Amino acid sequence: MTDKIDFNGERRVERFVVVLATLCVVFVNYSAAKGYINGTTPQQVSDKYPSLLTPAGYAFSIWGLIYLGLIIFSIYQAMSSQAENARFKRIRALYIINCAANCAWIFLWHHEQIWASLAVIFTLLGTLVLINARLQNKRDAAETWAARVPFGLYFGWATVATVLNFTLALASSGVETSASTARISASVIVAAVTILGVVVRLKLSTAAYALAIAWALTAIAVKHGGETALVFCTAFGVIALLVAAIFPLSQTEKSNV
């Protein structure tokens, strides 16, 4: 039988809502990027609160890859062959919550409700923790590329975005530090995120998570090239993350990305 998108049978409502939720996320984020929401863009809001952890603008292009992956996942999980996929059954509701949080974050961010947006992005991050954990079991190559890779990238980027959201929330409240304290704090945070990236990559066997963080750290170094200590920390972090992402693949995890 030819596999096709099928909204009949088991979990048909959930499978349909997953596709609809993805389309809503893409539409809301496109509208945000075009400045249609409150007359501003995410970057314009971010620029109001300078931070040494803000990456170069090109880094945000990863969203295009993430959303492409989520579209592929949405189509794949709607296929008749995936109706009984036990792993997908366990993540569909979480994914729908994630999409709602994603859209809510955009509206809060564009209206400069920075602390409220932080609460929402923690919710988004929490769903990604659970989704990635529930996708950890044995899978075929198609599921790896249609689900594991997109959600791994999403999780990694959301981790960095959550940390950045927190630092910008502090800045929005008028919290000020000396230049030296800001440099030290940024370097410590980069080190902590690197360690987290390596640990999670090894724990969940998802190289995409580490690669997304490495991408973000590289962009931080590019934007703040004059900060020698920070650049050194990010360079070390990128190397550690790349080693963690690649080395296990050459040993026992060749089927896990």
User: Per residue in 111-144, pLDDT tens?
Assistant: 999 999 999 999 999 999 999 999 987 668 999 9
Whether residue 212 lies inside any domain: the answer is yes
Kindly tell me if the per-residue pLDDT of 256 is higher than 70. no
Across the range 43-62, mean pLDDT stands at 96
> Mean pLDDT of all residues in the chain?
93
Q: Which of 227, 131, 223, 232 is nearest to 191 (CA)?
A: 232
Query: What domain count does the chain have?
Result: 1
The confidence score (pLDDT) of residue 220 equals 98
Q: Which domain holds residue 96?
A: 12-250
- 256 falls within a domain: no
* pLDDT over 50 at 62, yes or no: yes
Confidence of residue 9 (pLDDT cuts 50, 70, 90): low
Q: With 90 as the cut, is the pLDDT of residue 12 above it?
A: no
Q: Looking at the chain, how many residues does it have? A: 257
Nearest Cα to Cα of residue 56 among 211, 219, 212: 219
CA distances (Å), origin 89, targets 82, 98, 100, 207, 240 = 9, 15, 18, 23, 34
Element (H, E) at 228: helix 228-246
Does the pLDDT value for residue 39 go beyond 90? yes
pLDDT at 218: 98
Local structure of 72: helix, strand or coil = helix
Rounded to whole angstroms, the Cα distance separating 209 from 109 reads 24
Measured between alpha carbons, how far is 158 from 107 in angstroms, rounded to an integer? 17
Burial of 9 per CB tally in 10 Å (0-12, 13-18, 19+): exposed
* Confidence category of residue 1, pLDDT binned at 50, 70, 90: very low
Q: What is the mean pLDDT of residues 65-85?
A: 94
> Is 257 part of a structural domain of the chain?
no
pLDDT at site 205: 86
Question: What does the alpha-carbon distance between residue 208 and residue 69 come to, in Å, rounded to a whole number?
Answer: 12
Residue 178 placed within a domain: yes
Write the single-letter amino acid at 209.
Y
Residue 253 pLDDT greater than 60, yes or no: no
Can you give the pLDDT at residue 101?
A: 99
- Domain membership flag for residue 255: no
What gap in Å lies between CA 183 and CA 14, rounded to an integer?
Answer: 46
Report yes or no on 1 lying in a domain.
Answer: no
Six-digit token string for 57: 């603008």
Rounded to whole angstroms, what are the CA distances from 236 to 40, 89, 121, 229? 35, 39, 27, 11
The predicted structure's pLDDT at residue 11:
73
Q: Mapping DSSP to helix (H, G, I), strand (E, B) and coil, where does residue 206 land? A: coil
- In this predicted structure, what is the pLDDT of residue 176? 86
Among the listed residues 222, 124, 170, 21, the one whose alpha carbon sits nearest the alpha carbon of residue 230: 222
| Residue 219 falls inside a structural domain | yes
Give pLDDT, residue 208. Answer: 96
| Per-residue pLDDT, 138 | 66
In a domain, 7, yes or no: no
Q: What is the dihedral of CA 74, 78, 79, 83, to 10 degrees?
A: 130
